[in-house]
Amino acid sequence: MRAATAAVVRRPGAFELEPIEIDAPREHEVLVRIVGCGLCHTDLSARDQDLPFKLPAILGHEGSGIVEQVGAGVTRLRPGDAVVLSYAYCGDCEYCQDDRMAYCTRNARLNFGGVRVDGSALARDRQGQPLSARFIGQSAFATHALVLESNAVRVPTDVPLELMGPLGCSMQTGAGAVINALKPSRGESIAIFGAGSVGLSAIMAARIAGCATIIAIDKNAGRLGIAAELGATLTINTQVEDALAAIRAATKGRGVHYSVECTGVPAVLRQAVDSLRACGVCASLGVAGHQAEVQLHMNGFLFGKTLRGVTEGDSVPQRFIPQLIDWWRDGTFPFDRLVSYFSLAQLNEAAAACASGLAIKAIVQPPHTG
Ligand SMILES: [Zn+2]
Ligand SMILES: [Zn+2]
């Protein structure tokens, strides 16, 4: 057992800092001292129990840190290694074997089970009561997280490690949807619906891919300003403009080759499909309410259009996260511009700042990092 501190959700809606104990690493597990953890919308869905994850629980799934201890059978990592954490996958199923681990058949159990697959608890509170953990493979709103070796990605030691956690979820989700899933060719057009951290990552990736027309759609003027700085060639504010009309006007009436839906709003997904030209492809990334359904115009869809869901940007984290770091180094993926830092104790304030649009990507830092 290791004494640690975590932000625990005991009742929907609030995080409370408390002392906890984390189990010692077992086979293929590593204990990581967290230096930073990004706040992702999925954390808030679980905090509010819109997304079921048994309470009391430790959330947080964009962690980065230093390996402190390794369990039996760990071969790739050693204490002292710098790591960025990502989602968990089994490594054995047909999807994992095919490098499509975001669709692992054991995804739900490994990322939302709250306990190890054998049912044992990963963390306990002061009274010895189990706390649900390993949320999306992590539970990094804490000083320490106990994760599987396979979803801890070793990264260079000469980068600001506290910045890198969001690469493990929202940044790879947005960038991967473009680079790994849609794979646009140079000169093609793309429309990105929603300019939060996922959508802005998709915009940076679209620029890297060489898209000539990159359209950002949002209702927040400040975010659209950042979208333009990061590579959007056209921004559409839905408070004052009709998105579909503006997209058609910008594409000689034909629509875009690709669209990316990052809002989780069914009506916006419908627009993202309607914005496509013939044979265009829409990637749907937004997480909606459990019961959400979408309506499509069937005959319009017949024009060779494709709609596909994408989780975690189809990423193989062990390859894609180092790639994103290389792009960050060469200045083409400046995701640091989206980040605001908070202390772990300020997690509720960080969540409020994200909800109000004041912060795009909040990273919380546990106390031992100052
Ligand atoms: Zn698998
Ligand atoms: Zn996430």
Cα separation values, 203 from 77, 210, 241, Å: 33, 11, 20
> What is the Å distance from ligand 2's center to 93 Cα?
23
Please enumerate in sequence order all residues whose Cβ is within 8 A of that of 297, keeping only pairs 6 or more positions apart, or say none: 270, 273, 274
DSSP class of residue 214?
E
- Nearest CA to 39 out of 285, 352, 368, 263 is that of 352
pLDDT confidence of 187, banded at 50, 70, 90? very high
> What is the Å distance from ligand 2's center to 173 Cα?
8
Residues less than 5 Å from ion ligand 2, measured at CB: 40, 42, 169
DSSP class of residue 176?
H
- Here the tokens at position 227 are 């979208």
Matching residue, tokens 């790591």:
83
> What is the Å distance from ligand 1's center to 180 Cα?
19
Please tell me the distance from the alpha carbon of residue 37 to that of residue 141, in angstroms, as a whole number.
6
Please tell me the distance from the alpha carbon of residue 42 to that of residue 140, in angstroms, as a whole number.
13
**Residues making up the chain, counted from first to last:** 370
Check whether 370 has a pLDDT greater than 80.
Answer: no
The predicted pLDDT at position 369 comes to 46
Q: Are 205 and 214 in contact (CB under 8 A)?
A: no
Matching residue, tokens 């940044």:
171
State the DSSP H helix or E strand holding residue 322, giving kind and residue range, or none if neither.
helix 317-329
The architecture that CATH gives domain 2-168+334-365 is Alpha-Beta Complex (3.90)
Using omega within 30 degrees of 0 as the cis cutoff, is the peptide bond preceding 166 cis?
no
Q: Are 356 and 21 in contact (CB under 8 A)?
A: no
Please enumerate in sequence order all residues whose Cβ is within 8 A of that of 358, keeping only pairs 6 or more positions apart, or say none: 340
> What is the Å distance from ligand 1's center to 110 Cα?
9
Judged by its nearest atom, the ligand closest to the C-alpha of residue 311 is 2
Cα separation values, 32 from 209, 245, 289, 335, 340, Å: 34, 49, 32, 23, 23
The predicted pLDDT at position 367 comes to 85
Domain definitions of the chain by residue range: 2-168+334-365, 174-311
Task: Dump pLDDT digits (tens) for 257-295.
Answer: 999 999 999 999 999 999 999 999 999 999 888 889 999
Amino acid at 346: Q
Please tell me the distance from the alpha carbon of residue 281 to that of residue 52, in angstroms, as a whole number.
31
> What is the Å distance from ligand 1's center to 182 Cα?
23
Check whether 241 has a pLDDT greater than 50.
Answer: yes
> What is the Å distance from ligand 1's center to 19 Cα?
33
Task: Dump pLDDT digits (tens) for 286-342.
Answer: 988 888 999 999 999 999 999 999 999 999 999 999 999 999 999 999 999 999 999
> What is the Å distance from ligand 1's center to 102 Cα?
8
Please enumerate in sequence order all residues whose Cβ is within 8 A of that of 199, keeping only pairs 6 or more positions apart, or say none: 174, 192, 193, 216, 218, 227, 260, 262
Amino acid at 129: Q
The CATH class for the domain spanning 174-311 reads alpha beta
> What is the Å distance from ligand 2's center to 38 Cα?
9
Burial class (CB in 10 A: 0-12, 13-18, 19+), 186: exposed
Q: Are 162 and 185 in contact (CB under 8 A)?
A: no
Please tell me the distance from the alpha carbon of residue 43 to that of residue 237, in angstroms, as a whole number.
27
Matching residue, tokens 């929202």:
170
For the chain, the average pLDDT equals: 96
Please tell me the distance from the alpha carbon of residue 179 to that of residue 320, in angstroms, as a whole number.
10
Task: Dump pLDDT digits (tens) for 214-223.
Answer: 999 999 999 9
Question: Do β-strands 234-237 and 213-218 pair in parallel, antiparallel, or remain unpaired?
Answer: parallel
